């Protein structure tokens, strides 16, 4: 049985479309279709139902798919084992991150460049997305590693975590905001935000989930006036008097340049945490494992175990 035909079959299933599968495989669509039909003739049963708007599995195809994937994984493992013995690291690493992760002191770009210099044969894919979608992508195997915002103390099932940022959330307000009538004020109770228009990261981000959950526990629903993915842009909206921005702590020079005041949220204190996340059973390739090892050392919080 030709392993290429199994790969084409699996790719068509994943894309639910021959044209998209061919584009992903960098092949002509008729060639992919012909090879999958040859596989079906070889097995003596149709594997795909082509009658609808998208390609779906037949009952036989459903039964065959896990074995096809296992065969492809076995072939890849053979190749990777040989390359490990020769000291050559190849493959592809898919990494996801939330926008707040790259605004902190660790330099993700330099880590990527350093890894690329050491392993030039490894292709690196980089994705910026919400924490919610990246956790789903990790579970599906579409991402190897992700920097996500956390919403709970315990990791989701099947996911391992290493916290790399843990800091109190603050509100950023324009100089004339009413909350600043208290001279020397450095904090604000969460309940005081009940009727204020808030500026926050979008749903699906860790910070937004922390805010929504805390407000629900305090008995009110936050009034979200504006949403944006970049904390610094949220701050720029706040300085224009469009609302109160709920953000991670802003660098002192940034807050000063914008003319913003920041107050720590209390009662309860809200914390923004960003963590390195990967599947508990480990990344799927030696390349991804090597990059995860690099990140775990480089992003270790001082004083942590």
CATH of 170-269, one of 3.90.1150.10, 3.30.43.10, 3.40.190.10, 3.40.50.300: 3.40.190.10
Residue 186 tokens read as 């450095």
- Give CA–CA dist 193/139, Å, rounded: 36
pLDDT of residue 105: 57
Q: What is the pLDDT of residue 230?
A: 81
Residue 82 has a pLDDT of 67
**CB 132, CB 250: distance < 8 Å:** no
What does R_g of the chain's alpha carbons equal in angstroms? Answer: 24
CA-based max dimension of the chain: 81
Task: Quote the CA–CA distance of 157 and 133 in Å, as a whole number.
Answer: 15
**For the chain, domain boundaries:** 3-86, 91-163+274-298, 170-269
- The per-residue pLDDT string of the chain (305 residues; one tens digit each, 9 = 90 and over) reads 788 899 999 999 999 999 999 998 888 999 999 999 999 999 999 999 998 778 999 999 999 999 999 998 888 777 767 666 555 567 789 999 886 665 555 678 888 888 888 888 888 998 888 888 899 899 888 899 999 988 776 778 889 999 888 888 899 998 888 887 776 788 899 999 998 999 998 888 888 889 999 999 999 999 999 998 888 889 889 999 899 999 888 777 778 888 888 899 998 889 888 899 999 987 777 888 889 998 988 887 555 44
Cα separation, 100 vs 242, in Å, equals 21
Identify the pLDDT of residue 157.
86
pLDDT at 116: 87
| Fold classified for 91-163+274-298 | D-Maltodextrin-Binding Protein; domain 2 (3.40.190)
Written as one string, the DSSP assignment of 22-79 is HHHHTS-HHHHHHHHHHHHHHHTS--EE-SSSS-EE-HHHHHHHHHHHHHHHHHHHHH
Q: Which of 216, 279, 275, 270 is nearest to 246 (CA)?
A: 270
Domain 3-86 has CATH 1.10.10.10: yes
Cα–Cα nearest to 193, from 230, 219, 167:
219
Is residue 90 classed exposed, middle or buried when 0-12, 13-18 and 19+ CB atoms within 10 A define those classes? Answer: middle
* Domain 3-86 identical in fold to domain 170-269: no
pLDDT of res. 77 = 76
Cβ–Cβ under 8 Å, residues 57 and 65: yes
């Amino acid at each position: 049985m030709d392993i290429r035909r199994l790969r084409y079959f699996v790719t068509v299933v994943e894309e639910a479309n021959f044209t998209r599968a061919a584009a992903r495989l960098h092949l002509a669509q008729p060639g992919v279709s012909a090879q999958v039909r040859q596989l079906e003739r070889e097995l003596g049963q149709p594997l795909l139902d082509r009658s609808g708007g998208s390609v779906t599995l037949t009952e036989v195809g459903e039964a065959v798919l896990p074995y096809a994937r296992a065969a492809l994984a076995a072939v890849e493992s053979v190749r990777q084992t040989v390359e490990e013995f020769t000291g050559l690291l190849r493959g592809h690493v898919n990494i996801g991150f939330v926008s707040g992760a790259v605004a902190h002191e660790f330099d993700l770009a330099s880590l990527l460049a350093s890894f690329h210099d050491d392993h030039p044969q490894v292709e690196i894919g980089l994705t910026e997305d919400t924490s919610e979608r990246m956790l789903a992508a990790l579970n599906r195997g579409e991402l190897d590693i992700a920097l996500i915002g956390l919403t709970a103390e315990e990791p989701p099932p099947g996911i391992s975590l290493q916290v790399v940022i843990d800091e109190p959330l603050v509100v950023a307000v324009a100089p004339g905001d009413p909350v600043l009538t208290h001279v020397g004020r450095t904090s604000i109770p969460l309940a005081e935000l009940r009727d204020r228009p808030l500026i926050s990261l979008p749903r699906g981000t860790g910070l937004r989930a922390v805010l929504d959950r805390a407000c629900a526990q305090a008995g009110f629903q936050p009034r979200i006036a504006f949403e944006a993915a970049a904390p610094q842009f949220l701050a720029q909206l706040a300085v224009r008097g469009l609302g109160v921005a709920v953000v991670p702590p802003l660098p002192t020079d940034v807050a000063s340049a914008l003319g913003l005041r920041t107050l720590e949220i209390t009662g309860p204190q809200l914390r923004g945490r960003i963590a390195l996340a990967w599947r508990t059973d480990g990344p799927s390739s030696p390349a991804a494992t090597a990059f995860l090892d690099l990140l775990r050392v480089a992003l270790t919080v001082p004083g942590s175990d």
